[in-house]
């Protein structure tokens, strides 16, 4: 039976890149190195990451972006990451994304006009103080919405700290856009699942009753990452039939019923550190497969398997490849940089407030 895949996810494919493209990237990168800083997300293919000056998850890359003073930042990741780098850097620095179609399926599930509608509807029925939080995997417009309304950004590495901050500051919390990261973080914080509700955009009161919203402590936007949602509890049962001793590591964007079955749950950085620190040699990992393969390369003495099949890749992350990276570097060298990411002036102030709040909270 052929498997159906929704937008943003596909079975993992190993790509063979042309040597002359890789040689050309190396040559140009050396020639313009004075002016260039290349950032690479963990979910990129190894033939892209080999040219990165810094590799990490969204949070680490945001920090690297702040510290780099080079005039050109080439972001090998997706659109919202390049936007964050643009917001966090001074006006003279130029951020480029090698392929402008490299968006994020989850970020696309949260339109700013729907968030404004939610805010207006909630304000009509809830007198208490509500703090909005957005996962960094969201557009600059959603970050601006959150910053304007007293909230903050978080990543999967610091969501627990940002939750604690928000619950101290307000009576209720709205979490956008990842329902699973929100749910998993709330449960780890000790919040009763009966106090969590999902807000479905486009439906009156997000498809809830006014009473349910008044009772709720956390209101979770109903969106998800199509890559991480593919991993199911049945995959754990299946892999344990072949490897009874195997341990499971899962990203916090995975479904809560999968997180429950995992020995290690966290951000990409936390998964990497957890596997390194563990004496256990055999792991199945539920996250984007380029990263799972990179963990295997980092710890060759261990056996690191995808939790399901040959693993899944994020199709928009995969749009960044040696060809698009080379074209971007050539454009910088020719003095006509292309694929510049520049957040609209009307959004900058509030989006930056939300990002800086996260930096302060997690410091
Ligand atoms: S892996 Fe998921 S959350 Fe990350 S960029 Fe792809 S769709 Fe977005």
Determine, yes or no, domain membership for 362. no
- Establish if 24 belongs to a structural domain: yes
What pLDDT does residue 1 have? 57
In this prediction, residue 288 carries a pLDDT of: 97
Half-sphere exposure of 265 (CA within 13 A, CB side): 21
In a shared domain, residues 176 and 192: yes
Pair 164, 254 in one domain: no
Q: Is the CB of 225 under 6 A from ligand 1?
A: yes
Residues 294 and 221 in one domain: no
Ligand 1 in contact with 95 (CB < 6 A)?
Answer: no
Domains held by the chain: number: 3
Q: Do 243 and 256 reside in the same domain of the chain? A: yes
Q: Which CATH number goes with the domain that contains 239?
A: 3.40.50.10800
Q: Is the pLDDT of residue 66 over 90?
A: no
- Based on the fold, state whether residues 289 and 334 are members of the same structural domain: no
Pocket test for ligand 1, best of 5, 6, 7, 8 (most atoms within 8 A of CB): 8
The percentage of residues in the chain with a pLDDT greater than 90, rounded to a whole number, is 91
Residue 176 parent element (H or E):
strand 172-176
> Which domain-ending residue is among 190, 225, 260?
225
Same domain for 49 and 88, yes or no, is: yes
45 ligand 1 Cβ < 6 A: no
My answer on whether 297 and 246 are in the same domain is yes
Based on the fold, state whether residues 96 and 184 are members of the same structural domain: no
350 within some domain: no
Whether residue 299 lies inside any domain: the answer is: yes
Cα–Cα distance for residue pair 10/30, rounded to 1 Å: 34
The rounded distance, in Å, linking the Cα atoms of 46 and 117 is 42
314 lines ligand 1 (CB under 6 A): yes
Ligand 1 centroid from CA 125, angstroms: 33
User: What is the mean predicted confidence (pLDDT) over 75-93?
Assistant: 92
Residue 352 lies in a domain: no
Predicted pLDDT at 37: 96
pLDDT band of residue 59 (cuts 50, 70, 90) is confident
Atom of ligand 1 nearest to the CA of 105: 7
CA dist 170 and 150 (Å) reads 10
**pLDDT above 90 for 65:** no
What residue's CA is closest to ligand 1, atom 5?
Answer: 104
Q: What is the pLDDT of residue 63?
A: 85
124 shares its domain with 217: yes
Show the domain range for 265. Answer: 228-313
Choose the weakest-confidence range: 59-68, 109-118, 245-254, 327-336. Answer: 59-68
Interval between CA 131 and ligand 1 midpoint (Å):
25
What's the mean pLDDT in 100-104?
Answer: 97
Structural domain includes residue 195: yes
6 lies in some domain: no
Query: How far is the C-alpha of 280 from the C-alpha of 346, rounded, in Å?
Result: 50
Q: What is the pLDDT of residue 11?
A: 94
**Shared-domain flag, residues 88 and 113:** no
Per-residue confidence (pLDDT) for residue 2, from 0 to 100: 65
- Asked if residue 235 has pLDDT above 70, the reply is yes
The residue contributing the CA closest to ligand 1 atom 1 is 314
pLDDT in tens, 118-142: 999 999 999 999 999 999 999 999 9
Same domain flag for 214 and 236: no
Question: Is 78 near ligand 1, meaning CB less than 6 Å away?
Answer: yes
CA torsion 344→7→197→214, rounded to 10°? 40
Residues 126 and 114 reside in one and the same domain: yes
Asked whether residue 181 is domain-assigned, the answer is yes
Question: How far is CA 160 from its chain centroid?
Answer: 15
Domain boundary among 180, 198, 225: 225
Condensed to tens digits (0 to 9), the pLDDT of residues 286-316 reads 999 999 999 999 999 999 999 999 999 999 9
ipTM: 0.99
> Does the C-beta of 159 come closer than 6 Å to ligand 1?
no
b/e map 43-73, b = 16+ CB within 10 Å: bbbebbbebbbbbbbbbbbbebbbebebebb
């Amino acid at each position: 039976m052929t498997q159906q895949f929704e937008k943003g996810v596909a079975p993992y494919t190993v790509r063979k890149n042309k040597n002359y493209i890789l040689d050309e990237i190396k040559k140009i990168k050396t020639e313009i190195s004075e002016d260039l800083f290349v950032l690479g997300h963990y979910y990129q293919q190894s033939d892209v990451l080999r040219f990165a000056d810094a590799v990490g998850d969204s949070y680490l890359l945001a920090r690297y972006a702040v510290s780099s003073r080079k005039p050109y930042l080439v972001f090998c990741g997706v659109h919202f990451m390049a936007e964050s780098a643009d917001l966090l850097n001074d006006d003279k620095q130029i951020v480029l994304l090698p392929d402008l179609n490299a968006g994020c399926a989850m970020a696309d599930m949260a339109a700013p006009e729907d968030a404004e509608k939610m805010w207006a509807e909630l304000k009509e029925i809830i007198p208490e103080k509500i703090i909005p939080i957005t996962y960094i995997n969201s557009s600059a417009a959603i970050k601006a919405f959150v910053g304007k309304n007293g909230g903050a950004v978080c990543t999967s590495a610091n969501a627990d700290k940002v939750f604690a901050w928000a619950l101290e500051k307000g009576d209720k919390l709205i979490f956008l856009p990842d329902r699973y990261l929100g749910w998993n973080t709330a449960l780890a914080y000790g919040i009763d699942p009966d106090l969590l509700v999902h807000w479905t955009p486009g439906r009156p009161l997000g498809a809830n009753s006014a009473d349910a919203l008044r009772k709720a402590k956390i209101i979770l936007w109903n969106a998800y990452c199509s890559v991480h949602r593919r991993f199911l509890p049945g995959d754990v049962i299946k892999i344990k039939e072949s490897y009874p001793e195997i341990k499971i590591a899962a990203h916090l964007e995975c479904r809560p019923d999968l997180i429950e079955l995992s020995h290690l749950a966290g951000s990409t950085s936390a998964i990497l550190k957890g596997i390194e620190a563990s004496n256990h040699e055999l792991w199945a990992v539920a996250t984007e497969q380029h990263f799972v393969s990179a963990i295997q390369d980092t710890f060759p003495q261990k056996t690191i398997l995808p939790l399901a099949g040959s693993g899944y890749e994020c199709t928009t992350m995969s749009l960044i490849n040696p060809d698009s990276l080379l074209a971007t570097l050539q454009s910088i060298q020719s003095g006509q940089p292309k694929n510049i990411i520049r957040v609209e002036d009307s959004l900058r102030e509030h989006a930056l407030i939300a990002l800086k709040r996260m930096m302060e909270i997690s410091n």
